[in-house]
Structure 1
Amino acid sequence: MPGTSTHRVRTVLGRSAGWLVVGLSTLYAVSAVGMAVTELLALLGAGPDAKPRVVPPLFVLHALTGAVALVTGAVQLQLGRPSSSGHARAHRTLGRCYLAAAWTTSVAGAATAVVFDVGVAGQAGFAVWSASWFPTTTIALRHIRARRVRAHRDWMIRSFALAFVFVFVTFDPVRQALESAGLPRTVVYPVALAGCAIVDLAAVEVWLRRDRPGAPPSRGRPYATPRMAARPCEPDGRCGSGRSAPAPT
């Protein structure tokens, strides 16, 4: 049937795109950890001089926690909604790691933005990114505590999209073309950051609306694992045998 075939194609394409995001995030994370380790060894006098950084300790913290946020966020979103008790435990563990890493990276990013040598426009762009990532992640946490799973998922995707902006910037051909043209960093970074953020976040919003046509983004379904209920939760908050869904721990 055409509808079934279309759904299967979308499912395959979605999972393939998800694993591509996991791969790119892991690649970027490995690179970030490598730079952080090199910088740390240089600071400790145990290695060769590293690339000059404006605030080396903050750069190390930003790179390490950013790597954790990228990998845990990508894997958690790719694994999807928990389908077993073991899956649920892994989902919560990955989520907690992502929350801590995202909050830390956003705060460290805000601190380094004011001294980053990319001009006023570039500094403003990084500051806006930090000011957006922290509350977006917090909103996702508040939704899951209120058992609004759908809204939690949507805001986690938005949060990860903000994290993925820097992967996007790294592999952005426009940024590379601007650098090859010899333009200064004060031009390259603001243009690349703004362009990648707009494309990235716009694509996420379009995907969320196509994935859930007609439903408002602020609503969600209560949380329940297979151990809690024999069937999915109903929109009124009742699960399985009629018990309300408990808040996740």
Structure 2
Amino acid sequence: MSAPHGINPNIPHSARVYDYWLGGKDNFEADRRVAEQTMAAVPGIRESARNNRAFLGRAVRHLARLGVRQFLDLGTGIPSQGNTHEVAQAEAPDSRVVYVDNDPIVMAHARALLTSTPEGRTAYIEADVREPRTILEHPDVLGTLDFDQPIALVMVAILMHISDDDDPGGLVKAYAQALPPGSFLVLSHLTLDLVSKETAEDYLEATRPQAMHRTPRTGEQIARYFDGFELVEPGLVAVSEWHDTPLFPDPAAWMYAGVGRKP
């Protein structure tokens, strides 16, 4: 893949590393090198990424069947199979989805590949999740989503890229305050709770030199993101255990996942 103007292919990016783990082709040598190094040091990290993607599909499908017709997907990532609008519109063709990402490569692919049904609508904005007001007041967001009706806020594998200095909990609250009652939060997050101490140490050693910021957090920390929401069954669990069986057997569970409803 050739690099678009303004993109340095020698600097790895989390979305493209994730794309490689999912079997995609939209990545550079630097991304593949980091992905392979992490896979060598961290057993099961690729399978966990794929289980995380499968969780996204199960959660969106579950909410669509409950009647949710609007989704705000933050940190979209490079499109692959089972994108949010594809899953939602397969259940309800009139579903509306807004994708948000700050990577120009992600947005270029999103605009090219993520086409809506005639009954629904899909929009894409290039913005930073750390700027909730910019996103919530964006004309494409306001023109696509009705904030008087329930909205599913999708934050799948995004907060782990937000440092504590940027107050991820405060960001979730800022978005949550804009959601009407009956809305949902769909969230997954990297954790070291569910692996052995030795495996956790191997992960930290393998990822320390990488040019990407990832912050594993505990289940207790991640559960606080659901303050103001009522967790739906089965609660906050390993990503492979949220509704149904995992897509891939999980030799090591690296992600927590949950869905909460705003009363």
TM-score, length-normalised on structure 1?
0.24
**Relative CO higher for 1 or 2, CA cutoff 8 Å, sep ≥ 6?**
2
Q: Which has the larger radius of gyration?
A: 1
TM-score, length-normalised on structure 2?
0.23
Q: Which has the higher helix share?
A: 1
Q: Which has the higher strand share?
A: 2
